[in-house]
């Protein structure tokens, strides 16, 4: 049984180990600072498919395939897969994974999906409901632009606070035996936090309050401080959201400056790659977690980190109706034996 710590945190009795992980990205992400960390990439933004949506579906199935390969299992052996994405009605996941023939649990957490799916996969293991469970998510620059903003052909001007949706997917497979030696020790599901940000080109600002809420809740629950962790990763706050996160955490007495990195700021070279405030999208934190972060664990650089994916729970319709942008952030505390 998971033990509840404080108001928000869960500590697992049976360690959910990460047995395998896989990542796939597009060319721009491969050209970025983390290029060599990813399992594979394609020069073709359609990944051999007819549409960007189908390309993104392909990203998810490739990432799951790679994770299964690393875990040394056949995909059919998975008891459950938790998957979601950014597109309307989560079609990327449904179509990308429909041929797997395993119980499919659709989730929606916007860019918080990687941490959300991983946390739920751990919970399913802890309940005894699954022996092997996977989490996967993705995003694609071209499908996201069409969905949330304008078709690429329109060539609209980006604002300085805008972020560049990562073309990429990441998958993790959790199980009870000791594969990589990396396990989820604790999780903390986030609450919706909405401080009234309405600018759909400033997602970082909309998500930062939720990230601060989840991180400070977790630190209070566990009676720890940022310096107790090797590093604290957020998903895709970018430069604007990161500055705001530091401010908000400082008000609660936590200094994150020297212990924090943001996947959205790591995946691109902001000087050379013209991505404004950084990378974003479900695929951003997913691909970085399932590559760079796992690789650092494997090399013994990390033993205890926090991973927080952050999501903006809006749609073009809600923005057009004048609604603000609610944020959410889910946290996993990863450790290595």
* 157 burial via Cβ count (<10 Å: 0-12, 13-18, 19+): exposed
Does position 177 interact with its own copies (CB under 8 A)? The reply is: no
**Residue 54 is a binding residue for its own copies (CB under 8 A):** yes
- Cα–Cα distance measured from residue 285 to residue 193, given in angstroms and rounded to the nearest whole number: 20
Instruction: State yes or no: residue 189 binds its own copies (CB under 8 A).
Output: yes
**Do the Cβ atoms of 149 and 301 come closer than 8 Å?**
no
Determine, following the binding rule CB under 8 A, whether residue 75 of this chain makes contact with its own copies: no
Nearer to its own copies, 131 or 243 (CB): 131
By the rule CB under 8 A, 207 interacts with its own copies: no
Measured CA to CA in angstroms, residue 271 lies from 43, 100, 156, 263, 288 at distances of 22, 41, 20, 16, 19
Closer of 81 and 266 to its own copies (Cβ): 81
User: Is 4 near its own copies (CB under 8 A)?
Assistant: yes
Task: Considering the complex, state which of residue 26 and residue 190 has its C-beta at the smaller distance from its own copies.
Answer: 190
Report the residue from 22, 26, 32, 109 that binds its own copies according to the rule CB under 8 A: 109
Between CA 215 and CA 200 the distance in angstroms is: 24
CA distances from 92 to 85, 101, 164, 169, 305 (A): 6, 16, 19, 11, 30
By CB under 8 A, residue 77 contacts its own copies: no
Q: Is 101 among the residues that bind its own copies (CB under 8 A)? A: yes
Nearer to its own copies, 1 or 152 (CB): 1
Contact pick of 8, 163, 222, 291 for its own copies (by CB under 8 A): 8
Asked if residue 331 binds its own copies (CB under 8 A), the reply is no
Binding-site member from 40, 88, 159, 301 for its own copies (CB under 8 A): 88
Query: Is residue 5 near its own copies by the rule CB under 8 A?
Result: no
HSE (side-chain half, CA atoms, 13 Å) at 300: 0
Q: Which residues contact 212 (CB under 8 A, 6 or more apart)?
A: 244, 245, 248, 249, 252
Among 36, 48, 128, 154, binds its own copies (CB under 8 A): 128
Q: Which is nearer to its own copies, 32 or 281 (CB)?
A: 281
The partner residues of 329 in beta bridges, in order of sequence, read 310
Whether the CB-CB separation of 79 and 121 falls below 8 Å is answered with no
Partners of 25 in the beta sheet? 41, 168
Which residues lie near its own copies (CB under 8 A)?
Answer: 1-4, 8, 10, 13, 50-51, 53-54, 79-80, 84, 86-91, 94-95, 97-98, 100-110, 116, 120, 123-124, 126-129, 131, 189-192, 194, 313-318, 321, 323, 326, 328
């Amino acid at each position: 049984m998971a033990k509840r710590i404080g108001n928000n945190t869960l500590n697992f009795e049976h360690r959910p180990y990460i047995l395998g992980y896989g990542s796939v990205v597009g060319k721009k992400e491969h050209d970025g600072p983390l290029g060599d960390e990813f399992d594979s990439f394609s020069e073709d933004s359609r990944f051999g498919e007819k549409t960007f949506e189908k390309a993104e579906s392909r990203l998810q199935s490739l990432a799951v395939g790679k994770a299964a390969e690393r875990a040394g299992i056949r995909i059919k052996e998975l008891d459950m897969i938790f998957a979601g994405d950014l597109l309307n009605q989560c079609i990327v996941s449904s179509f990308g994974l429909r041929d797997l023939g395993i119980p499919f649990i659709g989730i929606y957490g916007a860019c918080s999906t990687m941490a959300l799916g991983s946390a739920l996969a751990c919970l399913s293991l802890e309940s005894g409901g699954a022996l092997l469970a996977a989490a996967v998510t993705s995003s694609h620059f071209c499908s996201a632009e069409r969905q949330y903003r304008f078709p690429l052909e329109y060539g609209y001007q980006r604002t300085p606070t805008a972020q560049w949706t990562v073309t990429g997917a990441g998958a993790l497979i959790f199980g009870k035996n000791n594969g990589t030696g990396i396990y989820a020790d604790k999780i903390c599901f986030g609450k919706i936090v909405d401080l009234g940000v309405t600018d759909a080109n400033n997602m970082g600002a909309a998500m930062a309050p939720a990230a601060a809420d989840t991180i400070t809740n977790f630190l209070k629950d566990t009676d720890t401080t940022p310096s107790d962790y090797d590093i604290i990763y957020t998903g895709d706050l970018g430069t604007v959201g990161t500055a705001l996160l530091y401010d908000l955490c400082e008000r609660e007495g936590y200094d994150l400056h020297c212990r924090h990195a943001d996947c959205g700021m790591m995946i691109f070279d902001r000087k050379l790659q013209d991505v404004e405030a950084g990378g974003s999208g479900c695929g951003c934190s997913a691909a970085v977690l399932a590559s760079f972060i796992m690789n650092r664990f494997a090399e013994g650089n990390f033993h205890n980190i926090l991973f927080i994916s952050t999501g903006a729970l809006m749609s073009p319709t809600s923005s057009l109706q004048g609604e603000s942008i609610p944020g959410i952030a889910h946290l996993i505390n990863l450790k290595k034996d």
